[in-house]
Chains A and B, each alone.
Chain A
């Protein structure tokens, strides 16, 4: 049992990533507030970024730039960090787009609460409640 605990503690970045991912997913799926859903998405994506970046890290390693360290030093793997830069750009665009949609929804319904939006759908849009899913 202590072996398992030790394994978990040594790999704590992955543990934190798993925890963050759970928190994020839970927030996305259960919160009716649109902003909190968006926050949940961002937490979830950060968890994945952490998973990637932690996988490239070596304790005591340095950034693989020739000017910073000599050829002798232990370099960390820069690839996951570079990939996550792309991931961050994507997550920024998702956030911006979601915010724009929230603004539109707020203008139409006057609220950012999903439950109230559903309740007001008929009076705002004149739809006759064809929601059957």
Chain B
């Protein structure tokens, strides 16, 4: 049995959540069982991801290659669990556990009856499975299919609330995301035309030979993929769908959308940029400069837009736009340090944003207030929730000893190493702006007089979820050691394609 699990780990991580997702619908009446099964599925996913990480570590970082159906590489579909895949798998499965725990017994208020809650869990597990697939896939067309699964389940999660605004946000998201996936598919089509391969490694090798002959087609493929994934990952000028979608979704959904779904697309973009096009081509086409510029504008514009919001969840949603800017900036640095920063920041932002959105959701549920200025004194009434929010905020600002700091520090060093000083300034300015839009919330929560209302911390599973996330933010900040090492290996692996 152990041998069976060990040899099939990469595929198990992906199909276990999907399997459970399809067991759930007939059990809709027994909502406790549904919750327990969904929780077990995510815990199993985390365990399997940990095991896979151990296996890859034991192989000295050489990737675990899995051939679906036993067909070898250029013909069959490969799953490759290298350092990058394992890194993202750990982030996905790790964040999915507390977010699911937060929904336990708590979703009815936001989503509706047992049938609707079950559907929520089905979509959630589909999303987690597809994100895990994005981490390990090595096939261009698989990327498209997974992207579509993620998009559709995200739209379902956004529209889970019965409010008409939710349907509106979901429709806008669906339209723009489909635009994005059509572009991605177009990019994949061009790559297939140019190389004749759908396997990333083979396509990369062939592209190196083909691109001097077809420079325009390659340029088109690059721009299709960047814009396509950019729309889906809410890269700054293409972010218009994100605030509505993330602010109107139920809180666990917002947490997973902001924390993980956006990151899934970025990991795919990273695989395309470094795994298929390769660093030489990126430098030749000056793609890294474009990415850096997009990152810088994203950081500044996203932060300023966040500053202008009056509602807590919308402010957090705009802050996600700014954080995507950081990651893309790191992608554009084209050196190990910058990529380590981007990857570490990706994982730590997933945890931080999940903590922030969940605590914001708990606050909104307990108080019924959405605006920041109405939240005066909430810190004294809901100590656990607000503590998690504060820890998350400190992480997002990038104070030392919190996980965000390490990511930002490496991003700074990476930009410095690449000789680009605009991004250095942008990272610093972004931190200041981040403090400017998050600290007023904390100040109002703790230092304003508390109103005479009965606001309380949420139930035990919710508090446990918040504490888990906050602990991870602190733990990654104080002892980043092994995780940072994994990020470094993943970055080196990406740049080895040079």
Residues of A in contact with B (beta carbons under 8 Å apart)? 21, 24-25, 28-29, 34, 37-38, 41, 44-45, 47-48, 51-52, 55, 79-80, 83, 86-87, 90, 93-94, 97-98, 101-102, 104-105, 108-109, 117, 121, 124-125, 127, 130-133
A93 CA to B174 CA, complexed, in Å: 11
Asked if B243 is an interface residue, CB under 8 A from chain A, the answer is: yes
Chain B minimum-CB-distance residue to A53: B189
Contacts A97-B155, A98-B171, A108-B164: A51 and B189 contacting too (C-beta < 8 A)? Answer: yes
A87 CA to B144 CA, complexed, in Å: 9
Interface residues on B, range: 35 or more
A122 to chain B, nearest CB (A): 11
The answer on a CB contact under 8 Å between A94 and B152 is yes
B203 to chain A, nearest CB (A): 14
A90 to chain B, nearest CB (A): 5
Chain A minimum-CB-distance residue to B169: A101
Q: Mark B124-158, 1 if CB is under 8 A from A, else 0.
A: 00000000000000000100110010001001100
- State which of B167, B175, B193, B243 has its C-beta within 8 Å of the C-beta of A37: B175
Residues of B in contact with A (beta carbons under 8 Å apart)? 141, 144-145, 148, 152, 155-156, 159, 163-165, 167-168, 170-171, 174-175, 178-179, 182, 185-186, 189-190, 192-193, 198, 240, 243-244, 305, 308-311, 314
Chain A minimum-CB-distance residue to B155: A97
A-B contact pairs, 7 of them (CB 8 A): A37-B175, A48-B185, A51-B189, A97-B152, A102-B171, A104-B164, A108-B167
The answer on a CB contact under 8 Å between A34 and B186 is no
Q: Is the interface of A mostly helix, strand, loop or mixed?
A: helix
Q: Is the interface of B mostly helix, strand, loop or mixed?
A: helix
Chain B minimum-CB-distance residue to A50: B189
A41 CA to B144 CA, complexed, in Å: 16
The answer on a CB contact under 8 Å between B178 and A45 is yes
Contacts A130-B314, A133-B305: A121 and B186 contacting too (C-beta < 8 A)? Answer: no
B318 to chain A, nearest CB (A): 9
Q: Given contacts A37-B175, A101-B159, A133-B305, could you give 7 more A-B pairs where the C-beta distance is less than 8 Å?
A: A44-B178, A45-B185, A97-B156, A101-B167, A104-B167, A130-B311, A132-B305
A113 to chain B, nearest CB (A): 12
B244 to chain A, nearest CB (A): 8
A105 CA to B244 CA, complexed, in Å: 15
Which chain A residues border B159 with CB–CB below 8 Å? 101, 104
Which chain A residues border B148 with CB–CB below 8 Å? 90, 94
The 4 closest A-B pairs by CB, nearest first: A108-B164, A104-B167, A101-B171, A90-B148
A81 CA to B14 CA, complexed, in Å: 26
Chain B minimum-CB-distance residue to A77: B196
The answer on a CB contact under 8 Å between A97 and B174 is yes
B100 to chain A, nearest CB (A): 23
Which chain A residues border B189 with CB–CB below 8 Å? 48, 51-52, 55, 80
A27 to chain B, nearest CB (A): 11
Which chain B residues border A90 with CB–CB below 8 Å? 145, 148
- State which of A21, A83, A109 has its C-beta within 8 Å of the C-beta of B186: A21
- State which of B155, B175, B240, B243 has its C-beta within 8 Å of the C-beta of A28: B175
Which chain B residues border A93 with CB–CB below 8 Å? 152
The answer on a CB contact under 8 Å between B179 and A101 is no
The answer on a CB contact under 8 Å between A51 and B175 is no
A57 to chain B, nearest CB (A): 12
Which chain B residues border A37 with CB–CB below 8 Å? 175
